[in-house]
Amino acid sequence: MKTKTRLPMQGIRFADFSWFGAGPYVTRLFAAYGAEVVRIESNTRIDGMRWQAPRKPGVPETYNISGMYNNFNPGKLGITLNLSQPKGIEIAKKLISVSDIVLDNFIPGAMAKWGLIYEELVKIKPDIIVATMPVMGITGPYTLWRGFGTSIRTAAGIDYITGNPDRPPIGTGMAALPDFTCNPYHAATAILAAIHYRNRTGKGQFIELAQFESTVCWTETAILDYTVNKHIQTSMRNRLPYACPHGVYRCLGEDTEVDYCAMPESEPDHRKKDDRWVALAVFTDEEWQAFCKVIGNPPWTKTKKFATLRSRKKNADELDRLIEEWTIKRAAEKVMMLMQKAGVPAGVVNDGEDLQTRDPQLKARGYYVYLDHPEAGRIAHDGLTFNLSETPGEIRRAPLLGEHNDYVYREVLGFSEEEINQLTVEQVLD
Amino acid sequence: MSKAKMNNAALDDLRVLDLAGPMGLYFTKQLADLGADVIKIEPPGGDPTRKIGPFYHNEIDPEKSLYWFHFNTNKKSITLNIESPEGKKILKKLVKKTDVIVESFPPGYLDSLGLGYSALKKLNPALIMTSITPFGQTGPYKDFKASDLIGLAMGGFLFICGWEDEPPSRVGGSQAYNIASIHASTATLIALYHRDITGEGQHIDVSMQQCVAHSLQWVTQMYDLQKRIMVRSGRLGVPLQECKDGWANFIALFDWDLLVDWLKSGGGAADLDDDKFKDMDYQIRPEVREHITEVTDAFTKSHDKKWVCEEGQKRGVIAIPFNNARDVVENPQLVSRNFFVDVEHPELGKTFKYPGAPYRLAETPWKIKRRAPLIGEHNNEIYKKELGLTSEQMALLKGQGVI
């Protein structure tokens, strides 16, 4: 692997107006690969992520210690700018005139209110790429609807094909899947494609990513199943039509005590680490034979009920029960190792502690990155998800609120000391 | 929009060879829908993912898989046995004119065939090779087998999904594969940017497990900062309202007065107009939430979910309907924006509605020009027209099971 002398996106600058989760997750990627991402924040309109739980206990509460903010914004530059002042908007335009990409995830109309729309911005930077990530889209009867990652998932139909269909439809619960997957990564893909097009033609463009539409693309074949077959898919729980057994099985609990928590602010819940599970996925007959051998070829595996995929599917409830009788006496890691050694797809259902302290694969790959933060101390960051052999990325800590005002206003935009003082007095740089 | 603009495509200068299995399907679909010339290389007889349902009219047939249709729009298909000596030769010929090659074989497999990155880059130094595997090219689990479910499990997403009194529950579709795919897309386009500037290709190593672990909201911080393990939260934190015809996701936390006014206009807010409910810390206590839900349920149960959400949003309540596929296809917002696109299937004599653009690029629109390919549909175009094979050579290769 090459040394990190030059990150691949160096020379690309973002004027990043986005906030909360889905927008900052876009520029998180670009910052890791060297783009200069200037996050435009304001004391008058704090990014909600800066006050979100969790925070480290015992650390003085400021806007700089939020775990999520610090994990969503590594490697970016932070400036404060008050866009409710005309001079603030002028400065924003000045920044855009030396930027390559403008990003926002506001409700439609917010950027227009400030005059920061593509039609205006292209006048000050002809090859600008402007990307916006409204929830529902900049047009249409629901354009002003508000929603979060969790509710977008519900609207898109993913929750309908998830979980236990006999209970209220919780989908993936509080895990806001679209905020950290399809929406930011679709946006990043579109921006990168637009950059490539600009490299070829010199032309910028306007990109709209409606989070609702982007998420419907991940409702996958449930859409075609309806438009083609008029069939409304419901949840298959953990099962699949073409694999059996295919599910999650309880394993032996552990004696160590842990603190489980359902919501970031919920009361301590210290108990034994007994929430242990293994996922098993048997697709082929060879895998089924190997699976039977691992569990010691008990007589029931040789009965007609479980001889073929079709018969196993038919008797899946009983099969799952019999398998769990075996797994529950064994540690999840042990089951995984035995199965994998025999060529059966299997995996520990890793919890937050397993991911960071146990999983030898993530450790060997150096996935989590621990960095010192001036206020929060040494903290964990999600790392890189892929290795680029010639141009590896790098995780650097997130900015404090307004940390890079000096660099951006002085060096990037060329304001003099007096000008900066004046703008500060006028609370434009607030 | 002008016609010229309709035909512009962001990636139409790219040739992509796609050897990947299900982990790469959505990745190369993205490239193809943005204009890249993606050639899916199927083993003779057809790709195994063609066996995955649902199927057109439930007819199990490799040319009728809706899974295949969905994920392979705009791609071309050739059949090729890359393990045979002739197959290797043909692949190497194709690689010379390829920008991106995508694969998801177990680490070391292509090397064992003499088709690994180090061999191929000698033929084409600007080549970008994107390898997507469950756990990456290195590390103790690199040879482990996985599936979508295993990816969700090992990446930590599965553990936080479901009811507190049930086993962890997977998310519908194949979202671990999609997540791996979409990270591969950005990785490849970053490498492409580097190539635009320097002319240099490279090898990309994508780990599905890492991609999933990157999608966990607050799991990393909860453990790192407070040594707490996020666990399945069931209905807690999922503000569901029961409506006459289904459910709505209903977030009124920030708009308490608006909610209370609305309830009063529709039959009664009980004691919810007490100021103590405006305190978020109070509001999120389980027993308080339960009480609030009782009051609001009584109201929403007498209306259908569409009305509840349209009226609620008008009043500033974040209300979102729990939609099934039909609701989505008929959704007024998606319909008014012409989100769904018609794709012709001449062999079936039908046109189907597909999910449309995940992103709208004004200058270079996302577009489905062609349905997913039939098995080996482009053998003639690629082998004869492009590589100059004769009909006799083609017949011979077919006889040898190469194509």
Task: Kindly write down the DSSP assignment for every residue of B175-223, as one continuous string.
Answer: HHHHHHHHHHHHHHHHHHHHHHHH---EEEEEEHHHHHHTT-TTHHHHH
Cβ atoms of residues A211 and A192 within 8 Å: no
Q: Which of A179, A285, A317, A382 is catalytic?
A: A179
Dist. CA A90–CA B327, nearest whole Å: 44
Are both A181 and A99 inside the same structural domain? yes
What is the pLDDT averaged over residues B132-159? 98
- Residue B137 above 70 pLDDT? yes
Cβ atoms of residues B249 and B320 within 8 Å: yes
Are both A143 and A101 inside the same structural domain? yes
- Residues listed for chain B: 403
Q: Does residue A398 form part of some domain?
A: yes
Res A101: pLDDT: 98
What are the backbone angles phi and psi of residue A364, rounded to the nearest 5°? -65, -30
Dist. CA B394–CA B376, nearest whole Å: 12
For residue A220, which residues of chain B lie inside 8 Å, CB to CB? 70, 172-174, 178
Cβ atoms of residues A280 and A343 within 8 Å: no
Dist. CA B23–CA A134, nearest whole Å: 28
Res A266: pLDDT: 86
Q: Which amino acid is at A164?
A: N
Cis peptide before A245 (omega within 30 of 0): yes
Our answer to whether residue A179 is catalytic in this structure is yes
Res B238: pLDDT: 85
Contact A189/B30, CB-based, under 8 Å? yes
Q: Is the dihedral of CA B357, B361, B367, B373 positive or negative?
A: negative
Number of domains in chain A: 2
- Residue A127 above 90 pLDDT? yes
Which of B157, B190, B242 shows the shortest C-beta gap to A192? B190
Are both A88 and A31 inside the same structural domain? yes
Strand A257-261 to A270-272 pairing: antiparallel
**What CATH topology corresponds to B3-217+341-399?**
Rossmann fold (3.40.50)
List beta partners, residue B243. B246
CA angle at B263 for the pair A211 and B322, rounded to the nearest 5°: 30
Cβ atoms of residues A283 and B147 within 8 Å: yes
Are both A298 and A373 inside the same structural domain? no
For residue B242, which residues of chain A lie inside 8 Å, CB to CB? 168
For residue B354, which residues of chain A lie inside 8 Å, CB to CB? 223-224, 227
Are both A176 and A77 inside the same structural domain? yes
- Helix-then-strand count for chain A, H and E: 18, 14
Q: CB contacts < 8 Å between A and B, how many?
A: 535
Res B239: pLDDT: 82
pLDDT tens profile A178-204:
999 999 999 999 999 999 999 999 999
Q: Which amino acid is at B67?
A: Y
A39: exposed, middle or buried (C-beta count within 10 Å: 0-12, 13-18, 19+)?
buried
Dist. CA A120–CA A290, nearest whole Å: 64
Q: Which amino acid is at B88?
A: K
Residue to mutate among A50, A192, A230, with most B CBs inside 10 A, is A192
Contact B236/A262, CB-based, under 8 Å? yes
Contact B238/A174, CB-based, under 8 Å? yes
In A215-304, at which residue ranges do the beta strands (DSSP E only) sit? Answer: 246-250, 257-261, 270-272, 277-281
Res B192: pLDDT: 98
Are both A140 and A31 inside the same structural domain? yes
Q: Does residue A395 form part of some domain?
A: yes
Are both A295 and A414 inside the same structural domain? no
Dist. CA A207–CA A204, nearest whole Å: 10
Are both A283 and A395 inside the same structural domain? no
What are the backbone angles phi and psi of residue B285, rounded to the nearest 5°? -65, 135
Residue to mutate among A220, A240, A286, A294, with most B CBs inside 10 A, is A220
3-class state of residue A78 by DSSP? strand
DSSP B92: H
* pLDDT above 90: percentage of residues in chain A: 96
Are both A130 and A199 inside the same structural domain? yes
Say what the pTM is. 0.97
Q: Does residue A358 form part of some domain?
A: no
Name the nearest CA neighbour of A156 among A238, A220, A239.
A220
For residue B226, which residues of chain A lie inside 8 Å, CB to CB? 54, 56-57, 259
Confidence of residue B253 (pLDDT cuts 50, 70, 90): low
- Residue B77 above 50 pLDDT? yes
Cα A37–chain centre separation: 18
**Where is average pLDDT lowest: A409-413, B115-119, B308-312?**
B308-312
Tokens 């386009």, residue located:
B189
Cis peptide before B54 (omega within 30 of 0): yes
What are the backbone angles phi and psi of residue A227, rounded to the nearest 5°? -70, -30
What is the pLDDT averaged over residues B182-187? 98
Q: How many CA atoms lie within 13 A of B358 on its CB side?
A: 27
Q: What is the CATH number of the domain that holds A92?
A: 3.40.50.10540
Predicted complex ipTM: 0.98
Q: Which of A349, A375, A400 is the C-terminal boundary of a domain?
A: A349
Find the domain containing A301 and state its range: 246-349
Q: Does residue A180 form part of some domain?
A: yes
Cβ atoms of residues A237 and A164 within 8 Å: yes
Q: Is B13 an 8 Å CB contact of chain A?
A: yes
Res B256: pLDDT: 84
List beta partners, residue B242. B247
Res B254: pLDDT: 63
Cβ atoms of residues B230 and A171 within 8 Å: no
pLDDT tens profile A15-72:
999 999 999 999 999 999 999 999 999 999 999 999 998 999 999 999 999 999 999 9
Are both A335 and A380 inside the same structural domain? no
Are both A321 and A175 inside the same structural domain? no
What is the pLDDT averaged over residues A270-276? 97
CA angle at B209 for the pair A70 and B232, rounded to the nearest 5°: 70
Cβ atoms of residues B210 and A367 within 8 Å: yes
Contacts of A422 (CB under 8 A, 6+ apart): none
Res B316: pLDDT: 85
Token pair, residue A127, equals 């090859």
Q: Is B329 an 8 Å CB contact of chain A?
A: yes
Q: Does residue A112 form part of some domain?
A: yes
Q: Is B332 an 8 Å CB contact of chain A?
A: yes
Cβ atoms of residues B134 and B179 within 8 Å: no
3-class state of residue B333 by DSSP? helix
Q: Which of A318, A349, A380 is the C-terminal boundary of a domain?
A: A349
Contact B147/A200, CB-based, under 8 Å? no
Cβ atoms of residues B60 and B48 within 8 Å: no
Q: Which amino acid is at B157?
A: F
Res A350: pLDDT: 98
Which of A146, A193, A391 shows the shortest C-beta gap to B361? A193
Dist. CA A187–CA A166, nearest whole Å: 35
What is the pLDDT averaged over residues B245-254? 82
Are both A300 and A379 inside the same structural domain? no
Contact B139/A361, CB-based, under 8 Å? yes
Helices (H), A382-427: 405, 417-425
CATH 3.40.50.10540 in chain B, residue ranges = 3-217+341-399
Q: Is B232 an 8 Å CB contact of chain A?
A: yes
